[in-house]
Structure 1
Amino acid sequence: MPEFPDNLPEKWKNKGYNVCRLGIDCYGISNLKILNISDRGIFSLKIKKEGDHFQLQATNENSLLELNAKSIFLCDPNAYTKDNK
Structure 2
Amino acid sequence: MADELFGECFLDYKDMDDVQLAATLQRLPPGEYEKPTRSGKLEPLIFRKVAPVFTWLDLVEDPRGLRSIYGADNPPSLEKILLHEVVLKCDGPSVVLRFDLPEFPTSAPIKWRDRGFSVVQIGLTMIGVKDLSLTGWNHHGWASMELASRDDLVMLEVLWGSARVQVQADAAAVTSISAYAGDLSLK
Q: How does 1:1-85 map to 2 (within 5 A)?
A: 1-35=101-135, 36-38=137-139, 40-82=140-182
Counterparts of 1:16 and 1:47, CA distance in 2: 31
- Say which is worse superposed, 40-49 or 17-26, in terms of deviation: 40-49
Amino acid at match of 2:175: C
If each structure's strand is expressed as a fraction of its own residues, which one has the higher value? 1
**Pairwise CA distance, 1:24:** 0.8
**Pairwise CA distance, 1:41:** 3.2
Over 3 Å counting, the alpha-carbon distance change for 1:37 and 1:61 in structure 2 is closer
- Say which is worse superposed, 65-74 or 55-64, in terms of deviation: 55-64
CA RMSD of superposed structures (Å): 2.1
Question: For 1:11, what is the secondary structure of its paired residue?
Answer: helix
* Structure 2 unpaired stretches of 5+: 1-100
Identity, in percent, stands at 25
**Pairwise CA distance, 1:42:** 2.3
For this pair of structures, how many residues does the alignment match?
A: 84
- Say which is worse superposed, 57-66 or 4-13, in terms of deviation: 4-13
Counterparts of 2:114 and 2:172, CA distance in 1: 31
* Structure 1 unpaired stretches of 5+: none
Counterparts of 1:4 and 1:41, CA distance in 2: 19
Counterparts of 1:54 and 1:7, CA distance in 2: 29
**Pairwise CA distance, 1:9:** 2.3
Question: For 1:20, what is the secondary structure of its paired residue?
Answer: strand
Contact 2:126 2:169 in 1 (8 A): yes
Q: What TM-score do you get using the length of structure 2 for normalisation? A: 0.40
Q: What TM-score do you get using the length of structure 1 for normalisation? A: 0.80
